[in-house]
């Protein structure tokens, strides 16, 4: 069970001299997509493979291990305090997480000047593509493809939830995939640990199409079921090759959900702790909803049954990740004895009001876990001509 690799990217990394004429010890310089990479000499870049608001990702070889990796350069990380906190959160979480279906953070390059660095270079497992590109492609997806992708997503999520981590931004673009259909969850910039005081989520930062009703309705309390809803939306998108709830804004998103699930009775609205939100839901016209079997007539009936249990409006009645893994649709895939929980829960106590200096210090502490030798150079490395 494989899919085709994409070889459309023919740009290659170009070796360049350092921009200021000074070569920093242990670093060398490449350009890709008009972006300068100042990276450790043990990494040899190959070509750029992705670009976003954060910066550029390139494939590379670690010549010490001969392993292929992905290097993400985050440009001017302190230019936006929210982005800086997201980066720090990912560093802290991924240092503790080790699972086959979660992206591995292999290295965080130590900067030349720890007190004034602007860019951060993260080194991850190298993957071929993401689920968004697969869904949008002409690649046929069999029932076995759907089942295996869903199994790995649930398996990784079970581990995360056992470690006390809510991902909070699951979507096809955050699920990386290899040609052998191996899947890994990535992008933990919006993740939270589910204990402690930081339960408030800014409504607009999480991708709307995959956002659970309790978040759309501004509920103060939520848990692991928000991730299950997102999995349901992703599962539906795999089955239908298009998003199930492509809302244009928050209220439109709720209307789309009700149009498909049907109007909810009072017993299903008890979780809404916002009186204004509850009134809005009750003002929507009555609808019986649209049967999933009519939306996905070619889907396995067991797949639709599992999907139906994920896309439940009331989070308390939504299937859990563990229950989903034991569903008949997953028969023959899930083995509890080979899927142990995390060894201990993670408690990410992150002050959302940290200033740039504090965030920088925390990032350096995280980098030192990968480069303990750098502790001997408090002002950074020496210059070379």
d(CA 48, CA 31): 9
Q: Which residues lie closer than 8 Å to 293 by C-beta, 6 or more apart?
A: 299, 301, 304
Query: What is the signed CA dihedral for 361, 363, 364, 367, rounded to 10 degrees?
Result: 160
3-state secondary structure of 168: coil
| Cα four-point dihedral sign 134, 136, 140, 144 | positive
Active site residue 169: yes
Q: Which residues lie closer than 8 Å to 350 by C-beta, 6 or more apart?
A: 85, 88, 89, 92, 198
d(CA 175, CA 151): 13
What's the DSSP call for residue 305?
H
> Helix 301-310 and helix 143-162: axis angle, to 10°?
30
From 40, 107, 125, 169, active-site residue? 169
Which alpha helices (H) appear in the chain, and where do they start and end? Answer: 81-96, 131-136, 143-162, 213-216, 225-240, 250-261, 275-283, 292-295, 301-310, 321-325, 356-370
Structure tokens at 30: 């490449």
| Active-site annotation, residues | 169
């Amino acid at each position: 069970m494989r899919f085709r690799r994409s070889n459309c990217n023919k740009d290659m990394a170009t070796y360049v001299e350092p921009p200021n004429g000074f070569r920093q010890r242990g670093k060398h310089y490449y350009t890709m997509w008009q972006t300068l990479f100042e990276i450790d000499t043990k990494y040899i870049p190959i070509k750029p493979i992705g670009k976003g608001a954060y910066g550029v990702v390139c494939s590379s070889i670690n010549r010490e291990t001969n392993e292929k990796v992905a290097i993400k350069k985050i440009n001017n990380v302190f230019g936006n305090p929210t982005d800086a906190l997201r980066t720090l959160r990912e560093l802290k979480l991924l240092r503790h997480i080790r699972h086959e279906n979660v992206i591995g953070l292999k290295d965080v390059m130590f900067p030349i000047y720890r007190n004034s660095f602007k860019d951060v270079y993260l080194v991850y497992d190298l993957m071929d593509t993401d689920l968004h590109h697969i869904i949008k492609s002409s690649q046929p997806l069999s029932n076995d493809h759907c089942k295996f992708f869903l199994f790995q997503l649930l398996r990784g999520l079970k581990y995360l939830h056992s470690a006390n981590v809510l991902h909070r931004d699951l979507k096809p673009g955050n699920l990386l995939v290899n040609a052998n259909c191996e899947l890994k969850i990535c992008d933990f910039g919006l993740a939270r640990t589910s204990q402690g005081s930081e339960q408030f989520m800014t409504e607009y930062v999480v991708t709307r199409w995959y956002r659970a009703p309790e978040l759309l309705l501004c509920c103060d309390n939520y848990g692991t079921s928000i991730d299950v809803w997102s999995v349901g939306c992703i599962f539906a998108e795999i089955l239908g090759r298009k998003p199930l709830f492509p809302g244009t804004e928050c209220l439109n998103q709720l209307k789309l959900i009700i149009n498909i699930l049907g109007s909810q009775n009072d017993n299903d609205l008890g979780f809404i702790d916002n009186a204004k939100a509850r009134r809005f839901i009750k003002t929507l016209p009555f609808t019986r909803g649209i049967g999933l079997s009519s939306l996905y007539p070619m889907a396995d009936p067991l797949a639709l049954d599992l999907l139906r249990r994920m896309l439940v409006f009331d989070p308390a009645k939504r299937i859990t990740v563990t229950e989903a893994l034991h569903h008949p649709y997953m028969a023959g895939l899930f083995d509890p004895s080979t899927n142990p929980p995390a060894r201990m829960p993670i408690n990410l106590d992150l002050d959302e009001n940290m200033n740039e200096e504090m965030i920088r210090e925390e990032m350096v502490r995280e980098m030192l876990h990968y480069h303990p030798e750098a502790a001997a150079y408090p002002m950074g490395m020496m210059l070379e001509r």
